[in-house]
Amino acid sequence: MRLTFTDEGFQAFLDSRDEPNWLTEIRKSAWERFKQLPWPSGKDEEWMRTDIRMFHLEKFHIPCKRDGMGTAIPVLSAGVELAGSTVACDGVPTRTSKLDAELVEKGVVFGPISELLEDHGELIQTHLFQVVDGSLDRFSALHQATWTNGMFLYVPRNVRIEKPIHTFTTLTEGGSDFAHSLIVLDEGAEATVLAESNNAEGESGLHCGAIEITVGDRANLRYVNLQDWSQQVWHFAQQKAVIGRDANLQWTVGALGSRLAKVNQHVVLQGKRATCQVNGVMFTENKQHLSYHTLQHHLQSDCTSDFLYKGALQDTSRTVWRGMIKVDVDAQRTDGYQRNDNLLLSNKARADSIPGLEIEADDVRCTHGSTSGRVDEELIFYAQCRGFTRKEAIRMIVTGFFQQVFDRVTIESVREALALAISRRVREYE
SS (H, E, C) the chain: CCECCCHHHHHHHHHHCCCCHHHHHHHHHHHHHHHHCCCCCCCCHHHCCCCCCCCCHHHCCECCCCCCCCCCCCCCCCCCCCCEEEEEECCEEEEEECCCHHHHHCCCEEEEHHHHHHHHHHHHHHHCCCCCCCCCCHHHHHHHHHCCCEEEEEECCCCECCCCEEEEEECCCCEEECCEEEEEECCCCEEEEEEEEECCCCCCEEEEEEEEEEECCCCEEEEEEEEECCCCEEEEEEEEEEECCCCEEEEEEEECCCCEEEEEEEEEECCCCCEEEEEEEEEECCCCEEEEEEEEEECCCCCEEEEEEEEEECCCCEEEEEEEEEECCCCCCEEEEEEEEEEECCCCCEEEEEEEEEECCCCEEEEEEEEEEECCHHHHHHHHCCCCCHHHHHHHHHHHHHHHHHCCCCCHHHHHHHHHHHHCCCCCCC
Angle at which helices 7-16 and 21-36 pack, to 10 degrees?
A: 160
The residues spanned by each domain of the chain are 7-271
Q: Which pTM does this prediction carry? A: 0.94
Average pLDDT over residues 17-30: 95
pLDDT over 90, % of the chain: 72
Average pLDDT score over residue span 49-56: 94
Whether the Cβ atoms of residue 270 and residue 241 lie closer than 8 Å to each other = no
Q: What pLDDT is attached to residue 64?
A: 75
In 10 A of CB 151, how many CB atoms?
25
Q: Are 254 and 279 in contact (CB under 8 A)?
A: no
Reported as a single tens digit per residue, the pLDDT across 139-190 is: 999 999 999 988 999 999 999 999 999 999 999 999 999 999 999 999 999 9
Rounded CA-CA distance 336/297 in Å is 10
> Residue 299: which pLDDT band, with cuts at 50, 70 and 90?
very high
Whole-number pLDDT of residue 428: 59
Burial of 58 (0-12, 13-18, 19+ CB in 10 A): exposed
Report residue 398's pLDDT band, with 50, 70 and 90 as the boundaries.
confident
Q: What is the pLDDT of residues 342-393, one digit of tens each?
A: 999 988 999 999 999 999 999 999 999 899 888 878 888 888 888 888 888 8
Cα 173 from chain centre = 22
Q: Whole-angstrom distance between the N-terminal and C-terminal Cα of the chain?
A: 48
Sign, CA torsion 123/125/128/129:
negative
Burial 305-343 (b: 16+ CB within 10 A, else e): bbbbbbbbbbbbbbbbbbbbbbbbeebbbbebbbbbbbb
Q: Are strands 92-97 and 84-89 parallel, antiparallel or unpaired?
A: antiparallel
Confidence of residue 68 (pLDDT cuts 50, 70, 90): low
Torsion sign, CA atoms 22, 27, 33, 36: negative
When pLDDT is averaged across residues 73-87 and rounded to a whole number, the result is 88
| Residue 203: Cβ within 10 Å count | 20
- List C-alpha distances in Å: 97 to 164, 179, 255: 13, 18, 27
Q: Tell me if 220 sits within 8 A of 192, measured CB to CB.
A: no
pLDDT at 378: 82
Residues 332 and 363: their CA atoms lie apart, in Å, by 5
Count of alpha carbons within 13 angstroms of residue 366, beta-carbon side: 25
Lowest mean pLDDT among 250-254, 276-280, 316-320, 391-395: 391-395
For residue range 93-122, list pLDDT tens digits in order.
888 888 888 999 999 999 999 999 999 999
CA-CA distance, 214 to 217, in Å (whole number)? 10
pLDDT tier at 414, thresholds 50, 70, 90: confident
